[in-house]
Structure 1
Amino acid sequence: MEDVGGILASLLLDTERPEGAIILLEGSLGAGKTSFARGFVRGATGDWNLRVTSPTFLLSNTYRARKVDENNVESDIEIHHMDLYRLGDHPEDFAPLNLDVVFRECVSLIEWPVRLSNVTVPTDQQLNVDIRHFSSDDTDTEDTPRRLVLSYPDGSSWGSILDQIHHQGLLDDMLMLTSKQ
């Protein structure tokens, strides 16, 4: 799970404008949402030893990544890893997260996005990552394979990013790509 997150982070930071990217992480408890986020943050920061934990009790952890553009100009990208599991469905529950600014100016990784039902989430740079257990006998252990289903809106920058993964041979049989209709 971490390796896929790291690859996506690297490719996203290579785009012209990664700010505003929203990655919605869906899956049952223990499916690998935090592992995916850990890989993404480590890949974005280039620090593979960085301690990246679930923000379940803090709601949001913030990290900084460096981006160098084609003119060698450096800039900081802020990454917010949020876990909304403990939140209700009232808009005021989300006020401390400052989502309007985060969705516009930062990269967001959001666990339990179902809690966002009463919050407007921009969809133009949204990537849904659905992590599913893949077992013939319905058992779930740490070694149980996972299947990732990645979906995004038509016209999104994620289409070209995921095409790169496919064309570079980084796609395996546990990763499925779809465009939302």
Structure 2
Amino acid sequence: MKELEYLLVDEEATVEIGHKLAKVLQIMVDENGPKGLVVYLNGDLGAGKTTLTRGFVRAMGHKGNVKSPTYTLVEPYELPPWRVFHFDLYRLSEPEELEYMGIRDYFNQDCCCFIEWPEKGAGLLAKQDLTINMAYQGEQRVITFIAESAFAEQLLLSLHAQVEQ
């Protein structure tokens, strides 16, 4: 499956789809061994990118606050055996700034990287497994998942099965 699209009626639905994505990833990795995940998040300000990531991070076991890394560029979450990194590159002046923070060190087998505004890091980011586009539709949101790797295609198949239950 290359693409999935859902209507998210409210913030709770956005958190829930992030939660389901995390659970599907955990099941797949338990069956097949460790596999990192790189997700590019696209959408206007307020479209739900951080809300989706919050659902994912909490489902991976984080108990505290999940905030937008708008001013810090990255928020790390150590959730053994995983490391989850939430990037917000909105305020990045130029992609080379990522070199100073050791960007390549974030893309490992035990890492899940969610990257908002990935176009600002063009040329320095790892290739995405999954692209997630979020758009306003009135008071609701439309979320589109696009698989960019064979691993992400399997992930979307499993996510579709989870959502349809």
Give TM class, smaller chain. Answer: 0.7 to 0.9
Q: Are positions 1:22 and 2:45 aligned together? A: no
1:65-104 equivalent positions in 2, closer than 5 A: 65-66=79-80, 76-91=81-96, 93-104=97-108
RMSD of the TM alignment (CA)? Answer: 1.9
- Equivalent AA in structure 2 for residue 121 of structure 1: A
Task: Classify the secondary structure of the residue corresponding to 1:39.
Answer: helix
Alignment match of 2:68 (pick from 54, 61, 79): 54
The count of aligned residue pairs is 148
SS in 2 for 1:118: coil
SS at match of 2:108: helix
| CA distance, structure 1, for counterparts of residue 130 and residue 50 of structure 2 | 16
**1:36 matched to which residue of 2?**
52
**Whole-Å separation in 2 of the counterparts to 1:163 and 1:46:** 25
**Counterparts in 2 of 1:147-158, with a 5 A limit?**
147-155=142-150, 157-158=151-152
Shift of 1:167: 2.3
What TM-score comes out, normalization by structure 1 length? 0.74
| Structure possessing the higher relative contact order (Cα contacts under 8 Å, 6 or more residues apart) | 2
CA displacement 1:147-166 (0-9 Å, x = unmatched): 001101252x1211211222
Question: Which structure 2 segments of 5+ residues have no match?
Answer: 1-13
SS of the residue aligned with 2:119? helix
- Residue 83 of structure 2 contacts residue 112 of structure 2 at CA under 8 Å; is this kept in 1? yes
The structure with the largest alpha-carbon Rg is 1
For residues 76-155 of structure 1, the aligned pairs below 5 Å read 76-91=81-96, 93-105=97-109, 106-123=111-128, 126-135=129-138, 144-155=139-150
Taking only the aligned residue pairs, the percentage that are identical comes to: 28
Alignment of 1:4 onto 2:9: no
Q: Following the alignment from structure 1 to structure 2, what is the Cα–Cα distance between the partners of residues 59 and 20?
A: 20
Structure 1's 107 and 58: CA in aligned 2 closer, same or farther, altered over 3 A? Answer: same
Task: Give unpaired runs (5+ residues) of structure 1.
Answer: 67-75, 136-143, 173-181
CA apart distance, 1:2: 0.9
The TM-score, its normalising length taken from structure 2, stands at 0.81
Contact 2:87/2:115, CA 8 A, preserved across alignment: yes
Distance 1:28 1:12, change over 3 A: same
Is the counterpart of residue 160 in structure 1 residue 147 in structure 2? no
Whole-Å separation in 1 of the counterparts to 2:69 and 2:46: 14
Whole-angstrom distance in 2 between the partners of 1:97 and 1:20: 20
* Higher helix proportion: 2
